[in-house]
Structure 1
Amino acid sequence: MKELTEYILQFGNLNKQQIDLIERKTTVLELKKGEYFSEAGKIPQQVGIIVEGILRVCYYNNKGEEITRYFIDENHLVVDIKNFEANTESAEYVQAITDCKLFVFSKQAWEELLNTIVGWDAIVNKIIKKALIIKLERRSPLIEQDATARYLAFLKKYPKLTNRIPLSYLASYLGITQSTLSRVRKNLN
């Protein structure tokens, strides 16, 4: 739980009693590669902080093609906040693309913390704000760029992710086919 405490304390101050309560309300969730943190068509029921591993957010377009929107790695929040708050069904999947370990709060535990800890809402707002900024930064690059430029931009921005995610997901994220990605990678070597 040390990682959880360090993560939360980046966003505000809490006393030992408050930290103990947060730790009691937290569970550890281990996902195997391919398992889902949340699924389209279901109401999100939990908030997670990734300790180890990478998740991806994806959906199926009207042609039935799987599209990867972005990746979430260690020390980042994972929640479909809009649907979690509104208690509505999600349109996206959040899937483990490596084995993952997360600290998880159930919806009930999250609301209890909001109602119990003075200042928790301010900390949560800072965490969510950071997550939204990262989400916007991690969205797939502009379509105006050619495939090589998109790939190079990804390598520059996320060097630690490149060797940890399947090429099919990376190609989907970049908005190109896997064969195009292979050609780009070959031409760069």
Structure 2
Amino acid sequence: MKELINYILQFGILNQQQIDFIENKAIEVALEKDDYFSEAGKIPVRVGFILEGVIRGCYYNNKGEEITRCLISENSLVVDYLNFEANTSSTEYLQACTSCKLIVFLKQDWLELSQTIVGWENIAGKMFQKCLFQKSRKGPVISQDATTRYLEFMQNHPSLINRISLAYIASYLGVTQQSLSRIRKNIR
């Protein structure tokens, strides 16, 4: 819980009573590898904070191929924010790449935080902005060659290299698994 509170305090000031209220609304949740945090076709109903593990945002393109759009790891918020706020069905999946431990707020509890804590909407807005920024910045530049994309991935996400499936990394980089295996072999 300490990690979540430290994360929130980056975006605003809270007193102990407000912190206690937040802690009372939070639920610890475990996801097994391949479990979904939220699913396409369903309205997202929770906001999570990752204590341990990695979650990927993915969708299916018009050819039915699964595309990994972003990878979200520890000390980050995870939510399909736009659909959560609009109360509309999601078009992507948020799926555990590893076993995960999260602190979760159900939508009703999240709304209660807004109604009870003065300035919560401003804090939450900043957290969601960072969440959206991280998701948008994590996509590789497809105009780069595949080796450059992988080298950048290794530089930007060293902790993920041996934690998640090569299939997810390949999808994220926009290459086939065979190409990624060749690239990895040539780099060694």
- TM > 0.5 fold call: yes
Q: What is the deviation of 1:24?
A: 0.6
Match of 1:48 in 2: 48
Q: Which amino acid letter does the alignment assign opposite residue 13 of structure 1? A: I
Name the structure 1 match of 2:69: 69
Deviation at 1:150, TM superposition (A): 0.7
User: Equivalents in 1 of 2:9, 2:142: separation in Å?
Assistant: 38
Aligned to 1:177: 176
Q: Equivalent residue for 1:36?
A: 36
Deviations 1:74-125 (A, max 9, x none): 0001011110011100000000010001110000000010011001111111
Match of 2:16 in 1: 16
1:107 counterpart residue number: 107
2:159 equivalent in structure 1: 160
Give the equivalent residue in structure 2 for 1:87.
Answer: 87
Q: Return the letter of the residue paired with 1:50.
A: I
Aligned to 1:150: 149
- Distance between the aligned counterparts of 2:142 and 2:113, measured in 1? 42
Amino acid at match of 2:164: I
Which amino acid letter does the alignment assign opposite residue 78 of structure 1? V
Structure 1 counterpart SS, 2:135: helix
| Structure 2: runs of 5 or more not aligned | none
Structure 1 runs of 4+ with >3 Å offset: none
Q: Distance in 2 between matches of 1:18 and 1:182?
A: 50
SS at 1:48 equivalent: strand
Q: Write the distance in 2 (CA, Å) between the matches of 1:174 and 1:133.
A: 18
3-state secondary structure, aligned to 2:162: helix
Question: Secondary structure at the residue paired with 1:91?
Answer: coil
Q: How does 1:113-124 map to 2 (within 5 A)?
A: 113-124=113-124
Question: Which secondary structure state, in structure 2, belongs to the residue aligned with residue 165 of structure 1?
Answer: coil
Aligned-partner Cα distance in 2 for 1:29–1:150: 33
Deviation at residue 135 of structure 1 after TM alignment:
1.3
Displacement after TM superposition at 1:163 (Å): 1.1
Q: State how many pairs are aligned.
A: 188
Unpaired runs of 5+ in structure 1? none
Instruction: Give the distance between the partners of 1:13 and 1:83, measured in 2 at CA.
Output: 27
- Structure 1 counterpart of 2:35, which letter? E
Structure 2 distance, partners of 1:150, 1:6, is: 32
SS in structure 1 of the partner of residue 5 of structure 2: helix
C-alpha separation in 2, matches of 1:76 and 1:143? 25
**Could you give the per-residue CA deviations for residues 29-63 of structure 1, whole angstroms, max 9, x where no partner exists?**
10000100000000000000101000000001111
